C-alpha cells in the first residue's frame, strides 16, 4: 500500500508539473512566442518593436548591443525548473547581416573552441561599484558553426580591451548542433564573477543578473508578462 501511495503521489506531482507547463506555455510565454513568430514572419511590418543598435535608454549604463526586437526576457521559463538566463534579440534578417557591438567598455575573451560566443569582463560594475561582472553574447555563427565573430577576436583571445560601440561580429543562428539552427538572433546575458576574477557558468540562472537596470528597459520576464521592451517616451 505504501508503494502504491508513493506511485500515486508521484503521478499526481507529475500531473501538476505538466499542468503548470501548459499554463505557462498558453499563458504569457505562449503570447511571447506568438509575438516572436509574428515579428519574424513580417519584421518590416513591426519596425516599431525594434530597438536601435547602440541606442541608450535615458541614463542607462549600457548601450543596446544589436538592432532588433527583444523577444524573450530574463527569467522566462521554456520548461519546468528552467529559467532563461538573458535576453534574445531578433532582427528578422539573414545570418551574418546584423552587427553586434560592445555595449560597454571592458576586456573581451573568446575561449578556444568558442565558435559563436564571446564574453566581456567589466572590472567595475556601473551599478555596483567595486564588483566585477561579465557580458556574455552568443549565436554569432552560421548553422554549421562557421564563426561570424570579428577577425579581431580569434579563438583564444584573452582579455583584449574593447570600447563601447566596437564591432564584435554579426547575428547568427548556430545552436551548438551543426545543421539544427536556431532562429537568427543574439543572446545576451550578464554573468556574475566567481570572486576570484573568473566568470561563473552562464547556463545556471542564479549566476546571471537582471539586465533591466543596465539598459533601463523592462527585461525581467517575471514582472513583464506581455509588454514589448522599448524606451518610454520620457527616456528618449
Output the pLDDT for position 22. 37
What CATH number does domain 2-235 carry, 3.40.190.10, 3.60.21.10, 2.60.40.10, 2.70.70.10? 2.70.70.10
Output the pLDDT for position 30. 78
Domain assignments of the chain as residue spans, ordered by start: 2-235
Cell numbers found for residue 176: 551548438
Q: How far apart are CA 201 and CA 186, in angstroms?
A: 18
Output the pLDDT for position 42. 96
Determine the 3-state secondary structure of 160 from DSSP: strand
Output the pLDDT for position 29. 65
Output the pLDDT for position 10. 41
Output the pLDDT for position 224. 95
**Beta partners for 10?**
none
Determine the 3-state secondary structure of 4 from DSSP: helix
Dihedrals φ, ψ of 212, to 5°?
-50, -55
List per-residue pLDDT tens for the chain, 236 residues long: 445 544 433 433 333 333 333 334 444 567 888 999 999 999 999 999 999 999 999 999 999 999 999 999 999 987 777 899 999 999 999 999 999 999 999 999 999 999 999 999 999 999 999 999 999 999 999 999 999 999 999 999 999 999 999 999 999 999 999 888 899 999 999 999 999 999 999 999 999 999 999 999 999 999 998 899 999 755 65
Output the pLDDT for position 121. 98
Chain center to CA of 22? 23
Output the pLDDT for position 118. 98
Pick from 205, 137, 207, 196: nearest CA to 172: 137
Output the pLDDT for position 236. 56
Output the pLDDT for position 7. 43
Chain center to CA of 221? 12
Pick from 99, 32, 20: nearest CA to 66: 99
Output the pLDDT for position 234. 56
Q: How far apart are CA 35 and CA 208, in angstroms?
A: 25
Amino acid at each position: 500500500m505504501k508503494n502504491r501511495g508513493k506511485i500515486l503521489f508521484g503521478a499526481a506531482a507529475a500531473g501538476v508539473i505538466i499542468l503548470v507547463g501548459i499554463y505557462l506555455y498558453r499563458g504569457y510565454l505562449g503570447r511571447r512566442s506568438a509575438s516572436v513568430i509574428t515579428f519574424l514572419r513580417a519584421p518590416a511590418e513591426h519596425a516599431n518593436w525594434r530597438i536601435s543598435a547602440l541606442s541608450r535608454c535615458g541614463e542607462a549604463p549600457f548601450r543596446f548591443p544589436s538592432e532588433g526586437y527583444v523577444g524573450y526576457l530574463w527569467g522566462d521559463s521554456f520548461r519546468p525548473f528552467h529559467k532563461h538566463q538573458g535576453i534574445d534579440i531578433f532582427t528578422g534578417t539573414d545570418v551574418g547581416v546584423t552587427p553586434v557591438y560592445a555595449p560597454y567598455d571592458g576586456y573581451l575573451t573568446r575561449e578556444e573552441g568558442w565558435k559563436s560566443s564571446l564574453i566581456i569582463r567589466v572590472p567595475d560594475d556601473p551599478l555596483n561599484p567595486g564588483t566585477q561582472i561579465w557580458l556574455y553574447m552568443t549565436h554569432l555563427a552560421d548553422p554549421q558553426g562557421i564563426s561570424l565573430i570579428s577577425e579581431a577576436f580569434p579563438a583564444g583571445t584573452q582579455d583584449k580591451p574593447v570600447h563601447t560601440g566596437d564591432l564584435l561580429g554579426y547575428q547568427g543562428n548556430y545552436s551548438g548542433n551543426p545543421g539544427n539552427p536556431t532562429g537568427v538572433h543574439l543572446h545576451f546575458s550578464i554573468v556574475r564573477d566567481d570572486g576570484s576574477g573568473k566568470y561563473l557558468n552562464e547556463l545556471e540562472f542564479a549566476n546571471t543578473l537582471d539586465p533591466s537596470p543596465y539598459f533601463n528597459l523592462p527585461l525581467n520576464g517575471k514582472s513583464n508578462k506581455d509588454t514589448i521592451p522599448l524606451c518610454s517616451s520620457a527616456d528618449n
